[in-house]
Amino acid sequence: MLPIRLVARLKPPHPLLAGLAAISQLFEYNFLDQDTSKTNSTYLNVNTAMSKSHKITRRSFLQCAAAAGAAAIFSPSPDRAFGYLSANERPVFATIGLRNQGWAITNKSFAFADFAALADVDANVLGANVEKTEKKQKKKPDAYNDYRKVLDRNDIDAVMIATPDHWHTKIAVEAMYAGKDVYCEKPLTLTIAEGKLIEKVVKETGRVFQVGTMQRTESGQRFLKAVALVNHGRVGTVKKVTCGINGMKASPKIPVAPVPEGLDWDMWLGPAPKVDYRSLPEMRKGYGGGVPLHSNCHYAFRNWHEYSGGKLTDWGAHHVDIACWALGASDTGPSKITPAEYTLPVEYKDGHPVVADQYNAATKFKIQVDMPNNVEMIITSEGDNGIMFEGTKGRFFVNRGKIVGKPVEDLKDNPLPDGAIEEVYGGKVSKNHTANFIEAMNSREQPISDVWTHNRMLEICHLSNIAMRLDRELKWDPEKREIIGDRQANSFLARENRKGFEINM
Ligand SMILES: NC(=O)c1ccc[n+]([C@@H]2O[C@H](COP(=O)([O-])OP(=O)(O)OC[C@H]3O[C@@H](n4cnc5c(N)ncnc54)[C@H](O)[C@@H]3O)[C@@H](O)[C@H]2O)c1
């Protein structure tokens, strides 16, 4: 899946061309015979060979890597074996899933990238976003119902994925095998097994992968300051971290309803079990609005375990992430998860909801997590949304709007050393989370929200949900990434995709 712009610029006897000849044979697809005459004019005219490149699976990818010489593909060669050519050239992007967050991250990226294509399974969402994108960048992106057509295109360097969570892993893995770098929204996965798979494929393909936990880059650097305060001992030894992530409201009974015109419901469900579309007439207002307030589809999918993990993964993915980062626990995990208090809005049997017509994720909760170094983590629906760090010398609170507490006030007389924020971030803080992704695409290093640290902290959120669903404490082995001595609980670490929607490996 080399951008034909790149092939056009390579002159024989460039070593990459020899590799490409070998790849061409393996893929039964001739990269070198493409019509490259249009490549420098406008990406909208690029000719693609769709059906053929669907053959790029793990097996053919590995053969390809061997044939072309893995180093030529994985290393940041000056000619950039996969991807755009130089820091001065704008990368070509496509967004998959556009309604709410998909547009937000696309809109944030026009400063750095051109969007050649958009994909959404809702024709109304797709049409509206094609219009908005054309207005912004003065070029009309191509529109697809089926994301695989985006992956087939040779001119697209990276995809941004903002579908509901149950689609993330399948699309991300297939995108990596199709030679795309990936920006995927949080929570990255529906299960812990999916996280392990993504890690494996990132390693295998050498793709750059950013998770959409933008608190690491944005929010006025408040969260970076929080991590720096902890790192510099301003609360002393950390004893307790409280992540306030709010609860959610239970729903009324949501009846089966006609599928809205333009929505491809089967493709929306994708890997999730086949069920009827459900909704009530009342519309959601404000953030994420313009869709039914109660449904099993747009925006409301968060409240169903079939598609997401409720608040635990929706907001846990943000605040538990920062908490683990500050604790230096990004490459390990908890030893015990206790569901101290919680309310599930429907009855559960053997870890599964017994009804199909109401939201089923926890509405209230207080989860106690035993973290390394005797730190207690609390994840709670009570109190302010944000994170409280408490240590032997003091405590402070941080959220997207403020960072407050004595250690913060003390900065007036005793500021953090120069470079403390950059030390946390690993260099100059990027303009935004997309800019950081593009910088990483350039350097071929992993960006600030890498999949490994994300998965580690998301394990805490997934385990919290499993603990509530099974109504018992779980002991976790962070090395083996297994629940200790609980076969039933371990069976919740993975899920089977619906037939026909298996991940293309
Ligand atoms: N980083 C953040 O702060 C942040 C904020 C909001 C949402 N998110 C995340 O973004 C994701 C989407 O959330 P949302 O609020 O935008 O949801 P949404 O329901 O409003 O939008 C999802 C869109 O994906 C489309 N879609 C579904 N399946 C698809 C497929 N197979 N191919 C293409 N399009 C498909 C839907 O039609 C819809 O337009 C979630 O994972 C959510 O957690 C992150």
For each of the domains in the chain, give its residue range(s) and CATH number, in order of start.
4-215 (3.40.50.720), 219-421+451-490 (3.30.360.10)
Helices (H) and strands (E) in the chain, counts: 19, 17
Q: How far is CA 389 from CA 180, 239, 244, 275, 394, in A?
A: 38, 8, 11, 43, 8
Phi–psi pair at 450, nearest 5 degrees: -75, 160
Tell me the two tokens of residue 20. Answer: 């490409």
Query: Using CA positions, which residue lies closest to atom 22 of ligand 1?
Result: 163
Contact partners, residue 12, CB within 8 Å, separation at least 6? none
Give the sign of the dihedral formed by CA 419, CA 425, CA 426, CA 431: negative
Residue 135 near residue 129 (C-beta atoms within 8 A): no
Which atom of ligand 1 is nearest to 105's Cα? 1
Q: Which residues contact 490 (CB under 8 A, 6 or more apart)?
A: 482, 483
Number of alpha carbons in the 13 Å side-chain half-sphere of residue 485: 6
71's CB contacts (< 8 A; 6+ apart) are none
Cβ atoms within 10 A of the Cβ of 291, count? Answer: 18
pLDDT of residue 74: 35
The answer, yes or no, to whether any atom of ligand 1 lies below 6 A from the CB of 181, is: no
84 C-alpha to ligand 1 centroid (Å)? 27
Residue nearest (by alpha carbon) to ligand 1 atom 4: 101
Q: In this predicted structure, what is the pLDDT of residue 9?
A: 28
Structure token digits, residue 72: 């030529």
101 lines ligand 1 (CB under 6 A): yes
Separation between Cα atoms, residue 244 and residue 159, nearest integer Å:
32
How many angstroms is it from 101 CA to the middle of ligand 1? 6
Are 102 and 96 in contact, with CB atoms under 8 Å apart?
A: yes
What pLDDT, on a 0 to 100 scale, did the predictor assign at position 370? 98
For ligand 1, atom 8, the nearest C-alpha belongs to 101
How far, in Å, is the centroid of ligand 1 from the Cα of 57? 25
Residue 62 alpha carbon to ligand 1 centre in Å = 31
The reported pLDDT for the residue numbered 33 is: 27
What's the start-to-end Cα distance of the chain, in Å?
A: 16
Give dist(CA 245, CA 461) in Å, integer: 11
Q: Does 120 sit in the ligand 1 pocket, CB within 6 Å?
A: yes
- Which tens digits make up the pLDDT trace of 413-423? 999 999 999 99
Distance CA(12)–CA(259), nearest Å, equals 55
Contact 175, 159 (CB under 8 A): yes
User: Cβ(103) to ligand 1 under 6 A?
Assistant: no
Check whether the bond before 417 is cis (ω within 30° of 0).
no
Strand order in the sheet with 474-477: 403-404, 394-398, 386-391, 238-244, 375-380, 364-371, 336-343, 474-477, 482-483
Q: Ligand 1 centroid to 129 CA: how many Å?
A: 13
498 CA to centre of ligand 1 in angstroms: 20
**Residue with CA closest to ligand 1 atom 7:** 101
Residues of the chain with pLDDT under 70: 1-88
- Round to whole Å and give the CA distance between 299 and 226: 30
Tell me the pairing of strands 158-161 and 92-96. Answer: parallel
> Beta-strand (E) ranges in 399-490?
403-404, 474-477, 482-483
Token reading at 64: 């390809």
Q: Where would I find the beta strands (DSSP E) of 88-201? A: 92-96, 114-119, 142-144, 158-161, 181-184
Measured by CA distance, the residue closest to atom 5 of ligand 1 is 101
Continuous H helices in 178-258: 192-205, 222-231
pLDDT of residue 366: 98
**pLDDT tens-digit profile of 118-167?**
999 999 999 999 999 999 999 999 999 999 999 999 999 999 999 999 99
Radius of gyration from C-alpha coordinates of the chain: 23
Mutate to test the pocket of ligand 1, among 95, 96, 98, 100 (most ligand atoms within 8 A of CB): 100
Q: Cα of 27 to ligand 1 centre, how many Å?
A: 32
In sequence order, the 6+-apart residues with CB closer than 8 A to the CB of 473 are: 336, 337, 338, 339, 467
Atom 40, ligand 1: residue with shortest CA distance: 164
Tell me if the pTM is above 0.85.
Answer: yes
Compute the CA torsion angle 167, 128, 3, 448 (nearest 10 deg). -60
Residue with tokens 């926890």: 362
Cα–Cα distances in angstroms (integers) from residue 274 to residues 269, 299, 307, 355, in the given order: 7, 19, 12, 15
* pLDDT reported for residue 66: 53
